[in-house]
Chain A
Amino acid sequence: MSQLLQSIKNGTPAQDVEVGSGNQTSMDLSALPNKTDVQSKFAVSHPATGDGEFQRARFEPVGRSHTAPKSFNQGLLEKAEELLDNIESAEKDVSILKLESVRHVICELWNTSTYTSLQHQSLLALIEAFLAHIDLLQIEQAAALRGAFKDLAFPRLTEQHLDVIRSGLIDVGHNPLVAFSDISE
């Protein structure tokens, strides 16, 4: 992964990438194009007409509900809820440790997310993004987070449901765009 990041950031050619712990541990990225090379290449050779990538996608109305054919690992969800229980009243050091544990649980939850619905993945991302920039939880933040984790265990989530949770977390300080804000002007 680190080599891939280097490749994206600096345009240096990536070789083998080692990530994870299963069969997908390495991937040959030697063919990955060099950012600078591609830029200079297309700057002189690509026709002004583009390749149609910006064509508008067909838009369909939002569905009412979505089922999760396979839910997240229930044991992990229970572990997270247990960690968050009364976290706001714990000692500072304990609270920080618990939060770190919750982050690890979220990381593990992603590995069981393959067959979960888009809405479940969105909610997990929302929780993860919210926690990414928090050191200590305030009372209202902890309550919102506990609610979000409870909802994560629901077999069905709707977009409207997500809207409510998103709005609640933004109310207590969540900033949705932070993770993508380190960009060129």
Chain B
Amino acid sequence: MASSPTDTFVANVTDKSQVHIDTSLQIELQKSHNNANPVRAALSKYVFSSTSTYARKEFKRGWLQDLALIYKLCDRCKSVPELYDQVQSATNHPMAQRRRSRCLDAIFAFLSTLDSQKTTLEVALTRLRAHLGEAILGAYVKWDRTVTHQYDGTGCARSSERPSRASNGAIDVTVRECKQNKIQCSVHSFFDRNRDSFQKISDSVSPDSSKELQDTKRIIASAMQNSTVLCDSGKCSGMSEALIAVDGLQSSHFAANNDKEWVTISNALGKPLINPVSAHKASR
């Protein structure tokens, strides 16, 4: 029977417990104290915390690329209002509406911290760009320090490409495409070694499950025939939660802030799931 994350949050945490953390919670750990502290408090009960290197790639794609877009656009502008226009036009594709919101929110969050009496819009832009650069370049370092260990079962080549700054000031956060005919990782052999676990995840996906889980089931079925299909970045990204979970099978607990997929995956693999974010909200 499926148990809710809140139920399992308080259950069976011992000194020897280990927790494997998903991208969603790792992102929470990078946020302000209000967001991060409940997560830190919950995870501090575990003597060993881990994540997957694959999760780092998702983190780069999900957050750092947005910040890098703003950073890049800052170069073309002389002041913040101009940047505002640039962000609007760079994200005017209907498919980029969420990205636009995230970018504008990030700019707003930063500008709100400045003293408007002492800062011109030109200097504000310089500060914003410098802070963006530092945030992007420091993100991987911080990520690495939030866990005891990072499993690297998939050997994801893209996750190890750290953000870096070129001599012209450009910051590279590209997540390059991978193709099946040029294998650069070990996700296929990782899949073959853990076929049973992936089959369990596939079996637990019901018609009511989320679209992401339906995609995962379809990709697992395809990989059962030929695991090298996963060496295409379009395929492995479609089952990222399953890859991250199986990479942390040695841990006694899973931790995520994405119940839609993780409740099903945790149950399939027989691991208690904790969600400190929802537990914290429920306790308020």
Contact = CB atoms under 8 A, between A and B. Distances in A.
Interface of A: 1-2, 4-5, 7-9, 14, 17, 19-22, 24-25, 27, 29, 32-33, 35, 38-39, 42-43, 46, 48, 50-51, 53-54, 56-63, 66, 107-108, 110-111, 113-114, 118, 121-122, 124-126, 128-129, 132-133, 159, 162, 166-167, 170-171, 174-184
B145 A170 contact: yes
| Listed residue (A61, A126, A132, A174) with the most chain B CB atoms within 10 angstroms of its CB | A126
Question: Which of the four size classes fits the interface of chain B?
Answer: 35 or more
B244 interface: no
A24 B120 contact: yes
A148 B101 CA distance: 34
B134 A53 contact: no
Given A48-B94, A60-B166, A166-B137, A19 B130 contact: no
Contact of A38 (B88, B109, B116, B170): B88
A170 B134 CA distance: 12
A32 B31 CA distance: 30
A170 B30 CA distance: 12
B139 to A, nearest CB: 6
Nearest to B29: A175
B108 A9 contact: yes
A8 B84 contact: yes
A1 B119 contact: yes
Given A8-B104, A35-B104, A107 B170 contact: no
A129 B119 contact: no
A176 B138 contact: yes
A184 to B, nearest CB: 5
Contact of A133 (B33, B141, B142): B33
Given A59-B174, A175-B36, A182-B108, 12 more contacts: A1-B111, A1-B124, A8-B84, A43-B97, A62-B164, A121-B129, A122-B134, A125-B131, A126-B138, A176-B30, A176-B137, A180-B109
Contacts of A126: 134, 138
B102 interface: yes
Nearest to A42: B92
A38 B92 contact: yes
A116 B116 CA distance: 22
B212 interface: no
Contacts of A35: 88, 104
A184 B93 contact: no
B36 A179 contact: no
A176 B170 contact: no
A32 B172 CA distance: 30
Contacts of B90: 51, 53-54
A184 B134 contact: no
A43 B93 CA distance: 7
Nearest to B132: A180
Interface string B14-30: 00000000000000001
Contacts of B251: none
Interface string B70-91: 0010000001110011001111
